[in-house]
Amino acid sequence: MADSLEVKELDQVVVRFSGDSGDGMQLAGNIFSTVSATVGNSISTFPDYPADIRAPQGSLTGVSGFQVHIGAGQVYTPGDLCDVLVAMNAAALKTQYKYAKPGAAIIIDTDSFGPKDLEKAAFETPDYLGEMGIDPDRAIYSLYASMYVPRTFLIDRSGKVVALDVEFNPDNLQTIWEQANNM
């Protein structure tokens, strides 16, 4: 893991958002593009829809992408390779990594890289970064993901949080349900 953060100021950058079809990659890319244009940057976008519109979640054929090229000066194309790859699951990393420049920053959602996710994405080992030949220091999660944000919580009628599950675990839903019934 990197010991320090390197900040780069760029005249232009290409960002590629990728995840399951229906997970909001087109929306995220559109919002990112709109904000970038609003502050005065030039943009060029490329939405990338999967071949299988209703592919199973986490499958290689159901990955949706949105690439945006942002520049301080004129921008004419969405770019060939990205400087930043945002991969919301294992299948997105596996299928979209080929569109990243050597040395690109990689942002991943580690909650979507469990054993079942890696199996769906046809990874052979739990070391998915090593399997793809990716230096772990390029993956932003390793620098910043030091705690989880609660994902499952129960709020009573008064608006008070009465139960939460820090990491989503379907097995814990029964416990939360029982807590709710005992209130």
Whether 5 is in a domain gets the answer no
Q: In the prediction, which pLDDT does 147 show?
A: 40
DSSP string, 20-42: ETTSSHHHHHHHHHHHHHHTT-E
Q: Are residues 134 and 171 in the same domain?
A: no
Establish how many alpha carbons lie within 13 A of residue 121's alpha carbon, considering only the half-sphere containing its beta carbon.
Answer: 30
Q: Are residues 23 and 109 in the same domain?
A: yes
**Higher per-residue confidence, 51 vs 94:** 94
Q: Are residues 128 and 61 in the same domain?
A: yes
Q: Are residues 36 and 114 in the same domain?
A: yes
pLDDT tens, residue by residue, 86-120: 999 999 999 999 999 988 888 888 778 889 999 99
DSSP string, 98-125: GGEEEEEEEEE-GGG-SHHHHHHTT-SS
Q: In the prediction, which pLDDT does 62 show?
A: 85
**Averaged pLDDT for residues 56-79:** 90
For residue 146, pLDDT over 60 is answered with: no
Q: Are residues 47 and 82 in the same domain?
A: yes
pTM, full prediction: 0.73
pLDDT tens, residue by residue, 16-50: 999 988 778 889 999 999 999 999 999 999 998 87
The count of structural domains within the chain is 2
Q: Report the range out of 29-33, 67-71, 155-159 with the highest average pLDDT.
A: 67-71
Q: Are residues 172 and 131 in the same domain?
A: no
Supply the CATH number for residue 124's domain.
Answer: 3.40.920.10
Q: Are residues 36 and 115 in the same domain?
A: yes
Q: Are residues 95 and 166 in the same domain?
A: no
Show the domain range for 43. 12-144
